[in-house]
Amino acid sequence: GQGHGHGGRGRREAPARKKADPIEQVLRLTLEEMYYGVQKNLKLTRTVIRGGAEQRVSETLTIDVKPGWKKGTKITFPEKGDEAPGVIAADIIFVVDEKKHPQFERDGNDLITTKVVDLHEALLGTSVFITTLNGKSINVDIPEIVSPKYVKVLVGEGMPLSKSPNSKGDMKIKFDIRFPKELTGEQKAQLKSILGNAQY
């Protein structure tokens, strides 16, 4: 027994039932689903032992995706794997993954989008149009000079925070500035006289 140096507890008793290794599955969600939250009903067919006999049963596992959930969030359904004699059924674990979004990348609670602007728009001022994940249209005026590293931040237009879904991260707009493919000698001469005197 305990404290007498005979080794671990229960070693001479009937062998403990061993638990099967957990089964991980990927739950791929769109950014919209993680923005609003969504209920996912997942059908599952498994073997159970009822009155000593094996049966195949269908079950539905329900996952309440909360607004703000992130890639890597794990949801565990204990012992929902196949039952077998002498074994504890495995846990089924769903791991959230993020589907690629056509417009936005997610960085924590922020959303990042990249807009292509031509060089003259970057220098002279421009505006960009964004449709947020909740369908809101935003027209963003950018009168300032847009350099390659410039990031325009729209505060509070990002993903909801899972712990306080009324608060949101930011929307960050990055710029991919298209340069002219070629310039004539005359264009170059003019640019030289303008930009050579500019304040860098």
- Residues contributing to the site for a copy of itself (CB under 8 A): 118-120, 122-124, 145-149, 176-183, 187-188, 190-192, 194-200
Q: Are 64 and 37 in contact (CB under 8 A)?
A: yes
Instruction: Report the nearest approach of a copy of itself to the CB of residue 190 (Å).
Output: 5
Instruction: Report the nearest approach of a copy of itself to the CB of residue 147 (Å).
Output: 4
Instruction: Please name the helix (run of DSSP H) or strand (run of DSSP E) that holds residue 59, with its range, or none.
Output: strand 53-65
Nearer to a copy of itself, 118 or 141 (CB): 118
Nearest residue to 109 via CA among 141, 143, 86, 133: 133
Nearer to a copy of itself, 71 or 178 (CB): 178
Return the number of other C-beta atoms located less than 10 Å from residue 70's C-beta: 14
Nearer to a copy of itself, 64 or 141 (CB): 141
Nearer to a copy of itself, 11 or 181 (CB): 181
Residue 168, SS3?
strand
Q: Are 163 and 180 in contact (CB under 8 A)?
A: no
Instruction: Report the nearest approach of a copy of itself to the CB of residue 9 (Å).
Output: 23
